[in-house]
Structure 1
Amino acid sequence: MMAETGDLKHTPLFDLHAELGGKMVPFAGYSMPVQYPLGVMKEHLHCRAQAGLFDVSHMGQVILRGESYDAVARGFETLVPVDAVGLPENKQRYGFFTNQDGGIEDDLMFANRGNHMFVVVNAACKDADIAHMKAALEPAVTVEVITDRALVALQGPAAEAALARLAPTVVEMSFMDVADVELVGATCWVSRSGYTGEDGYEISVPESHAEKLCRALLDMDEVEPIGLGARDSLRLEAGLCLYGNDIDATTNPIEAGLTWAIQKVRRAGGEREGGFPGASHVLSALAEGVAQKRVGLLPDGRAPMRAGTPIFAAADGGDPIGSVTSGGFGPSVNSPVAMGYVGSSYAAVGTELFGEVRGKRMPVKVAKLPLVPANFKR
């Protein structure tokens, strides 16, 4: 079980973070490392060049069990607009819970493990997500919350070589494959996935072996510990949404640019069309278009445009036509980077707009997402 001190919970790797010099901050109810002595910029660049190790044990791990995987998946499809039934065994898929207005309650990953479904949800939403699944799926589907496993991510172009020293079979895995893998004497649930735009793995490891696994990886020259600061700049460059910033309960997935995650079988005319909360809102947005769209943004100059920065069509006058939802400095592109929403007529790549920073309007250009090309092994 996770330890708790005061109001903040600790992951099973808390003591290791302290030993490694991690600067701990509150995040989603946990004490988490925002950076290590290497610093955010160097951690970010190291992950892009070699391999970084992240503690993501604060996220929620859940197993859904029923008569069969198909029975579980059909129940799950009443909560998400994605194809769970057609997901092949030992494959993983991105999805999200919707509400009655078609907004996103949380985004998640789920995997077909043959006789059950493995689901990973965001830390800040996990209690609500678990309650939501229990209310909707039980008793036909049991919702089993995993509390005795850590979750770590090994990300970067050297991730494969590093993990293969401990288990050579991981080389055979492709993007979104899932497998049981023996690592440091424990059965780990490994997926070839991550949230940095780089190749890599996410590893659910028994709590009793979590520190041993991390030490084995950190002993390798390619691997450095990476904190939340670089995790945020990596996912921003990769054009990946942060729940609570870029998507929330008011965001239609079509505005968010997540149309790709809604397979044809769940769309209008598909074999299992609709049937999820807010389906009419999502499907009408697909058919008719949306008033605003999520876009990449590249500010001119060196000043970052942070979340909340209003976006205008002109250098002076007029009302805002959008706003920044995530922004900062992108170490890989060596310039400020951002994402946000703008009116659909302003969303074309290359459109010149203006972000208002400290009362002054600065030029910003709409850019194609991802801002750094993905490096997944397909």
Structure 2
Amino acid sequence: MRTKGNHMLVYILTLGVFGILNTEMGVIGILPIIADNYHVNISTAGLIVSLFALAVAVSGPILPLMFSGMNRKKVMLLVLGIFIVGSLVSAITSNFSVLLIARVVPAFFHPVYCSLAFTVAAASVSKEEASKAVSKVFVGVSAGMVLGVPISSLIATASSIAYAMLFFAAITTVAFVATLLYVPSMPVAGRLSYGTQLSVLRRSVTWLSIAAVIFMNGAVFGVYSYLAEYLKTVTNYAWHTISLMLFLYGVANIVGNMIAGKLLANHALRAVMSYPFVMGVVYILLFIVGQFSVPMFFIILFWGILGGIGGNIAQYWIVSAAPEALEFANGLFLTSANLGTTIGASVCGLFISGISAQYVMLGGILFLLLSIAAIYPRSLIYDRMEASNNAR
């Protein structure tokens, strides 16, 4: 049964995830300023984003497993503390190498907090309400991605990079204090051994789930990574309109997270199975009417909602394959999602450089087809597993 305490816990977890994602994504809007300030080229400045993502992908299956036996409140405080220190060091350093280290070290602990947030949110409510609780935490993910970029850009432009970094530290500090004061101690009872948790990797259903998430994320973020370029060269939007469209997509993403909780609670399998086909229709429409400004407004709005739903679907698809090892499964989800983003952006970039920006949609459709090839066999195997377990 849900209680007021459960609600507060989920909100604090959402704030913590927002703080961490805000720290990760917020610097995207100030990369040119960072390049000028630290006297490096823009590609070198971009390392603070790409190496952050790489650290998350590498540590995703490892560190959540290592911390799985510790008191969850202490682990959350530790990770939030590391992020606060990283942001403070970033604010005061004048050396780019130090800035890079201050960014990458906390990134290794990113999956620890986020996997715990998903796990604790789901455990704080009934099984039927778990998807809704997790979808609220995903709002923190979307808000961090949507609000972090314009706010940090505004702060850095109006004052300095240091104040933008202090903004990241301030948000994480609020989450730290809220966790310290209002989150109860959460010792782990009946901790699973490392061997038991790792045993989920022996199942084909786990690997098919990982593949599906890589391809689904590749389909969404491979295209989204070049949305600004698409709107500029195909739709011929002005830059201020492009900024508005990116913000619209992000807000729609948050709406999608809210819808996803109810969708997965009531129609989980149907939602997963139909998702690639609905997204495929959106990409076909984007390809056909991409040069028309008014239809693009509504398509981007719907696409943003689907993007928010997709993140929840991806997390559910992996966790449902390994429900007895939730933190490890959430770590696998974070790694898979980051790999999908990286691979998707690389492949879709090839379509742009090889043909034109309009054909980036073909890259998205390719990944959707690959996700179908992983989703449907996984569903069949999982159904057989469930039937076998019920027959015992």
TM-score (norm 1): 0.26
More strand by share: 1
More contact order relative to length (CA 8 Å, sep ≥ 6)? 2
Q: Identify the structure with the greater helix proportion.
A: 2
